[in-house]
Amino acid sequence: MRFITIGLVILGCIGCAESPQPQHITVAAAASLTPVVTEALATWPGASKRLVANFAASSNLARQIENGAPAALFLSANTAWMDHLAKRGLIISTSRTAVAGNRLALVRPQTQPLTQEQLPNTLTGRWTTGNPEHVPLGRYTKAALQDMHWWQPLAANLVAANNARAALRLVEHAEVDWGIVYASDAASSQGVRIVTLLPSTSHPPISYPAALVGTPQPEAEAFLAWLAGPEGQALFLRHGFTPPPEQP
Protein backbone atom coordinates (compact mmCIF):
# COMPACT_ATOMS: atom_id res chain seq x y z
CA MET A 1 0.00 0.00 0.00
CA ARG A 2 2.87 2.32 0.82
CA PHE A 3 4.37 1.92 -2.67
CA ILE A 4 1.02 2.48 -4.31
CA THR A 5 0.54 5.70 -2.32
CA ILE A 6 4.00 6.99 -3.29
CA GLY A 7 3.29 6.18 -6.94
CA LEU A 8 0.03 8.09 -6.89
CA VAL A 9 1.75 11.11 -5.34
CA ILE A 10 4.45 11.05 -8.03
CA LEU A 11 1.87 10.82 -10.82
CA GLY A 12 -0.06 13.66 -9.24
CA CYS A 13 3.05 15.85 -9.12
CA ILE A 14 3.80 15.14 -12.80
CA GLY A 15 0.29 16.27 -13.67
CA CYS A 16 0.78 19.47 -11.65
CA ALA A 17 4.10 20.26 -13.37
CA GLU A 18 2.64 20.01 -16.85
CA SER A 19 0.08 22.81 -16.84
CA PRO A 20 -2.17 22.54 -19.90
CA GLN A 21 -1.56 25.00 -22.72
CA PRO A 22 -4.58 27.07 -23.78
CA GLN A 23 -6.27 25.65 -26.87
CA HIS A 24 -6.74 29.14 -28.30
CA ILE A 25 -4.84 32.38 -27.75
CA THR A 26 -7.12 35.37 -28.18
CA VAL A 27 -6.17 38.58 -29.95
CA ALA A 28 -8.70 41.19 -28.77
CA ALA A 29 -8.82 43.78 -31.55
CA ALA A 30 -10.86 46.91 -32.20
CA ALA A 31 -13.60 46.34 -34.77
CA SER A 32 -12.02 48.77 -37.25
CA LEU A 33 -8.99 46.45 -37.41
CA THR A 34 -11.06 43.50 -38.66
CA PRO A 35 -9.77 43.34 -42.27
CA VAL A 36 -6.10 43.93 -41.49
CA VAL A 37 -5.87 41.66 -38.43
CA THR A 38 -7.79 38.90 -40.22
CA GLU A 39 -5.33 38.99 -43.10
CA ALA A 40 -2.35 39.29 -40.75
CA LEU A 41 -3.35 36.23 -38.73
CA ALA A 42 -3.64 34.20 -41.93
CA THR A 43 -0.46 35.35 -43.65
CA TRP A 44 2.24 36.30 -41.15
CA PRO A 45 5.24 33.93 -41.27
CA GLY A 46 4.60 32.49 -37.81
CA ALA A 47 0.91 31.86 -38.48
CA SER A 48 -0.49 29.74 -35.66
CA LYS A 49 -3.88 28.09 -35.60
CA ARG A 50 -3.96 28.78 -31.87
CA LEU A 51 -4.25 32.55 -32.46
CA VAL A 52 -7.88 33.64 -32.85
CA ALA A 53 -9.34 37.13 -33.05
CA ASN A 54 -12.13 38.68 -31.02
CA PHE A 55 -13.36 41.86 -32.72
CA ALA A 56 -15.52 44.41 -30.91
CA ALA A 57 -15.50 48.02 -29.78
CA SER A 58 -12.35 48.82 -27.80
CA SER A 59 -14.50 49.71 -24.80
CA ASN A 60 -16.22 46.31 -24.83
CA LEU A 61 -12.93 44.47 -25.21
CA ALA A 62 -11.31 46.40 -22.36
CA ARG A 63 -14.23 45.62 -20.07
CA GLN A 64 -14.15 41.97 -21.06
CA ILE A 65 -10.44 41.79 -20.19
CA GLU A 66 -11.10 43.64 -16.94
CA ASN A 67 -13.75 41.04 -16.08
CA GLY A 68 -11.37 38.15 -16.69
CA ALA A 69 -12.07 37.21 -20.30
CA PRO A 70 -9.09 35.40 -21.88
CA ALA A 71 -6.87 37.56 -24.08
CA ALA A 72 -3.16 37.52 -24.77
CA LEU A 73 -2.99 40.66 -26.92
CA PHE A 74 -5.13 43.80 -26.96
CA LEU A 75 -5.24 46.19 -29.91
CA SER A 76 -7.25 49.31 -29.10
CA ALA A 77 -8.55 52.07 -31.37
CA ASN A 78 -7.52 54.74 -28.89
CA THR A 79 -5.16 55.30 -26.00
CA ALA A 80 -7.90 55.85 -23.42
CA TRP A 81 -9.00 52.21 -23.19
CA MET A 82 -5.42 50.99 -23.17
CA ASP A 83 -4.73 53.45 -20.33
CA HIS A 84 -7.79 52.06 -18.56
CA LEU A 85 -6.26 48.58 -18.48
CA ALA A 86 -2.77 49.88 -17.71
CA LYS A 87 -3.99 51.65 -14.59
CA ARG A 88 -5.42 48.34 -13.38
CA GLY A 89 -2.20 46.46 -14.05
CA LEU A 90 -3.81 44.26 -16.72
CA ILE A 91 -1.35 44.82 -19.56
CA ILE A 92 2.40 44.34 -19.82
CA SER A 93 3.33 48.02 -20.08
CA THR A 94 6.79 47.37 -21.52
CA SER A 95 5.18 45.68 -24.54
CA ARG A 96 2.93 48.62 -25.37
CA THR A 97 3.47 50.10 -28.80
CA ALA A 98 1.44 52.00 -31.39
CA VAL A 99 0.90 49.94 -34.55
CA ALA A 100 -1.17 52.30 -36.73
CA GLY A 101 -2.97 55.59 -37.15
CA ASN A 102 -6.08 56.59 -39.12
CA ARG A 103 -8.19 59.45 -40.50
CA LEU A 104 -11.89 60.29 -40.26
CA ALA A 105 -13.91 60.17 -43.47
CA LEU A 106 -17.33 61.64 -44.15
CA VAL A 107 -19.15 59.10 -46.33
CA ARG A 108 -22.43 58.59 -48.11
CA PRO A 109 -24.04 55.40 -49.45
CA GLN A 110 -22.61 54.60 -52.88
CA THR A 111 -26.05 55.21 -54.41
CA GLN A 112 -26.28 58.71 -52.91
CA PRO A 113 -23.18 60.65 -53.98
CA LEU A 114 -22.43 64.05 -52.53
CA THR A 115 -19.74 66.44 -53.67
CA GLN A 116 -17.47 68.25 -51.27
CA GLU A 117 -18.58 71.59 -52.65
CA GLN A 118 -22.09 71.00 -51.27
CA LEU A 119 -20.91 70.81 -47.65
CA PRO A 120 -22.03 71.60 -45.04
CA ASN A 121 -25.49 72.78 -46.12
CA THR A 122 -26.67 69.35 -47.30
CA LEU A 123 -25.67 67.50 -44.10
CA THR A 124 -29.23 66.78 -43.10
CA GLY A 125 -31.11 63.63 -42.21
CA ARG A 126 -30.04 60.64 -40.17
CA TRP A 127 -26.35 59.96 -39.84
CA THR A 128 -24.09 57.60 -37.94
CA THR A 129 -20.76 57.17 -36.24
CA GLY A 130 -19.61 55.22 -33.19
CA ASN A 131 -21.38 55.92 -29.90
CA PRO A 132 -19.56 58.98 -28.50
CA GLU A 133 -20.12 57.73 -24.95
CA HIS A 134 -17.65 54.87 -25.25
CA VAL A 135 -16.64 53.98 -28.84
CA PRO A 136 -13.32 55.58 -29.92
CA LEU A 137 -14.65 56.44 -33.40
CA GLY A 138 -17.53 58.35 -31.84
CA ARG A 139 -15.23 60.19 -29.46
CA TYR A 140 -12.95 61.27 -32.30
CA THR A 141 -15.97 62.30 -34.38
CA LYS A 142 -17.57 64.35 -31.62
CA ALA A 143 -14.29 66.17 -30.97
CA ALA A 144 -13.91 66.94 -34.68
CA LEU A 145 -17.48 68.19 -35.14
CA GLN A 146 -17.25 70.31 -32.00
CA ASP A 147 -14.07 71.86 -33.35
CA MET A 148 -15.86 72.63 -36.63
CA HIS A 149 -19.02 73.84 -34.81
CA TRP A 150 -21.14 71.12 -36.43
CA TRP A 151 -21.86 68.94 -33.41
CA GLN A 152 -24.73 70.86 -31.82
CA PRO A 153 -26.95 71.10 -34.92
CA LEU A 154 -26.24 67.51 -36.01
CA ALA A 155 -26.30 65.57 -32.72
CA ALA A 156 -30.08 65.13 -32.60
CA ASN A 157 -30.08 63.05 -35.80
CA LEU A 158 -27.24 60.74 -34.78
CA VAL A 159 -27.82 56.98 -35.00
CA ALA A 160 -25.06 55.80 -32.67
CA ALA A 161 -23.39 52.52 -33.62
CA ASN A 162 -21.90 49.98 -31.21
CA ASN A 163 -18.57 49.90 -33.05
CA ALA A 164 -16.82 51.29 -36.11
CA ARG A 165 -17.72 48.44 -38.46
CA ALA A 166 -21.38 48.65 -37.42
CA ALA A 167 -21.36 52.35 -38.38
CA LEU A 168 -19.92 51.47 -41.78
CA ARG A 169 -22.62 48.85 -42.37
CA LEU A 170 -25.39 51.36 -41.61
CA VAL A 171 -24.10 53.61 -44.39
CA GLU A 172 -23.47 50.71 -46.79
CA HIS A 173 -27.08 49.57 -46.42
CA ALA A 174 -28.38 53.15 -46.77
CA GLU A 175 -30.06 52.94 -43.38
CA VAL A 176 -28.73 56.45 -42.77
CA ASP A 177 -28.06 59.35 -45.13
CA TRP A 178 -24.40 59.75 -44.28
CA GLY A 179 -21.82 58.90 -41.67
CA ILE A 180 -18.37 59.52 -40.31
CA VAL A 181 -16.18 56.42 -40.26
CA TYR A 182 -12.50 55.58 -40.31
CA ALA A 183 -10.85 56.20 -43.67
CA SER A 184 -9.48 52.65 -43.63
CA ASP A 185 -13.00 51.20 -43.32
CA ALA A 186 -14.30 53.47 -46.07
CA ALA A 187 -11.45 52.46 -48.37
CA SER A 188 -12.25 48.77 -47.89
CA SER A 189 -15.94 49.18 -48.71
CA GLN A 190 -17.68 48.97 -52.07
CA GLY A 191 -20.87 50.37 -50.54
CA VAL A 192 -19.83 53.88 -49.53
CA ARG A 193 -18.45 56.94 -51.25
CA ILE A 194 -15.90 59.14 -49.47
CA VAL A 195 -17.03 62.76 -49.60
CA THR A 196 -14.11 64.26 -47.72
CA LEU A 197 -11.59 63.57 -45.01
CA LEU A 198 -12.05 65.57 -41.81
CA PRO A 199 -9.09 67.76 -40.83
CA SER A 200 -6.65 65.71 -38.76
CA THR A 201 -6.11 68.78 -36.57
CA SER A 202 -9.79 68.86 -35.54
CA HIS A 203 -9.51 65.89 -33.17
CA PRO A 204 -6.88 64.09 -31.07
CA PRO A 205 -4.50 61.93 -33.14
CA ILE A 206 -6.01 58.55 -33.97
CA SER A 207 -3.70 55.92 -32.54
CA TYR A 208 -3.95 52.14 -32.28
CA PRO A 209 -1.89 51.02 -29.28
CA ALA A 210 -1.22 47.33 -28.77
CA ALA A 211 0.01 45.49 -25.69
CA LEU A 212 0.36 41.99 -24.29
CA VAL A 213 -2.14 40.95 -21.62
CA GLY A 214 -1.56 38.65 -18.67
CA THR A 215 1.13 35.96 -18.84
CA PRO A 216 3.14 36.44 -22.07
CA GLN A 217 2.33 33.90 -24.77
CA PRO A 218 5.15 33.35 -27.33
CA GLU A 219 2.75 33.37 -30.30
CA ALA A 220 1.17 36.65 -29.17
CA GLU A 221 4.59 38.23 -28.60
CA ALA A 222 5.77 37.17 -32.06
CA PHE A 223 2.58 38.42 -33.70
CA LEU A 224 2.85 41.82 -32.02
CA ALA A 225 6.50 42.14 -33.06
CA TRP A 226 5.52 41.34 -36.65
CA LEU A 227 2.68 43.88 -36.67
CA ALA A 228 5.07 46.58 -35.44
CA GLY A 229 7.77 45.56 -37.93
CA PRO A 230 8.20 46.46 -41.62
CA GLU A 231 5.93 43.75 -43.04
CA GLY A 232 3.13 44.43 -40.61
CA GLN A 233 3.36 48.17 -41.15
CA ALA A 234 3.19 47.69 -44.91
CA LEU A 235 0.02 45.63 -44.43
CA PHE A 236 -1.58 48.41 -42.39
CA LEU A 237 -0.79 50.93 -45.13
CA ARG A 238 -2.31 48.66 -47.79
CA HIS A 239 -5.52 48.58 -45.75
CA GLY A 240 -5.80 52.37 -45.67
CA PHE A 241 -4.28 53.07 -42.24
CA THR A 242 -1.64 55.72 -41.63
CA PRO A 243 1.66 55.35 -39.80
CA PRO A 244 1.22 55.46 -36.01
CA PRO A 245 1.48 58.81 -34.23
CA GLU A 246 4.58 59.42 -32.17
CA GLN A 247 2.91 58.53 -28.86
CA PRO A 248 1.16 55.13 -28.41
| 195-227 pLDDT tens trace | 999 999 999 999 999 999 998 899 999 999 999
Separation between Cα atoms, residue 68 and residue 226, nearest integer Å: 26
pLDDT of residue 49 exceeding 90: no
pLDDT bucket at 14, cuts 50 / 70 / 90? very low
- Between helix 58-66 and helix 79-87 the angle, nearest 10°, is 10
Separation between Cα atoms, residue 98 and residue 243, nearest integer Å: 9
Separation between Cα atoms, residue 117 and residue 166, nearest integer Å: 28
More confident residue, 8 or 134: 134
Q: Give residue 242's region: left, alpha or beta (phi > 0; psi -120 to 50).
A: beta
Report which DSSP code applies to 125: S
Please tell me the pTM assigned to this model: 0.84
- As annotated, the residues of the chain forming the CATH 3.40.190.10 domain(s) are 13-101+207-238, 104-202
**CATH number belonging to the domain at 104-202, selected among 3.40.50.1860, 3.40.190.10, 1.10.12.10, 3.40.50.2000:** 3.40.190.10
Q: Does the domain made of 13-101+207-238 have the CATH classification 3.40.50.2300?
A: no
Alpha-carbon dihedral angle through residues 102, 178, 136, 207, given to the nearest 10 degrees: 10
Q: Which of 143, 247, 150 is nearest to 204 (CA)?
A: 143
